[in-house]
């Protein structure tokens, strides 16, 4: 059973556009929801994270929107840049164990 479902699998966005990646989770016991960015040949890097008592968190061009009742959350990348081209993973955590989604390969057209 896939505990964290992520979509789309791949995404192409024009430079300056908004990139949106969606995730859904099953276990209501999760209490921490991070997003990771991964470049080829590198380990995942923490981008932004949210806890379920908050509906939105913004850091620079990156925003997480969180809907606790729907068990869904999303990442919005504003003014997307070619340097944002990477694979993005949503995740959910409880008791120090992180469960990752399958990833979204994002490509920003120059």
Partner 1 sequence: GAGVSQTPSNKVTEKGKYVELRCDPISGHTALYWYRQSLGQGPEFLIYFQGTGAADDSGLPNDRFFAVRPEGSVSTLKIQRTERGDSAVYLCASSLSRGRYEQYFGPGTRLTVT
Minimum Å gap between C-beta 90 and partner 1 is 9
Minimum Å gap between C-beta 40 and partner 1 is 11
Alpha-carbon distance 60 to 33, whole Å? 18
* Pick 42 or 69: Cβ nearer partner 1: 42
Q: What's the per-residue H, E or C state across 46-69?
A: EEEEECCCCCEEEECCEEEEEECC
Minimum Å gap between C-beta 44 and partner 1 is 5
* Chain positions contacting partner 1, by CB under 8 A: 4, 6, 32, 34, 36, 41-46, 49, 89, 91, 93, 95-103
* Pick 75 or 91: Cβ nearer partner 1: 91
Minimum Å gap between C-beta 74 and partner 1 is 17
Q: Which residues are paired to 58 by β-bridges?
A: 63
Alpha carbon separation from 81 to 53, 100, 110 (Å, rounded)? 30, 24, 8
* Pick 20 or 49: Cβ nearer partner 1: 49
Before 67, cis peptide (omega within 30)? no
């Amino acid at each position: 059973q896939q505990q964290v479902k992520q979509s789309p699998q791949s995404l192409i966005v024009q430079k300056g556009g908004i990139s949106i990646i969606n995730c859904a989770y099953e276990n209501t016991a999760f209490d921490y929801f991070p997003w990771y960015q991964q470049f080829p040949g590198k380990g995942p890097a923490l981008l932004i994270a949210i806890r379920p008592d908050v509906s939105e968190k913004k850091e620079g061009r990156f925003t997480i929107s969180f809907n606790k009742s729907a068990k869904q959350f999303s990442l919005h990348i504003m003014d997307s840049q070619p340097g944002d081209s990477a694979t993005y993973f949503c995740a959910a955590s409880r008791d120090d164990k992180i469960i990752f989604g399958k990833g979204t390969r994002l490509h920003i057209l120059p």
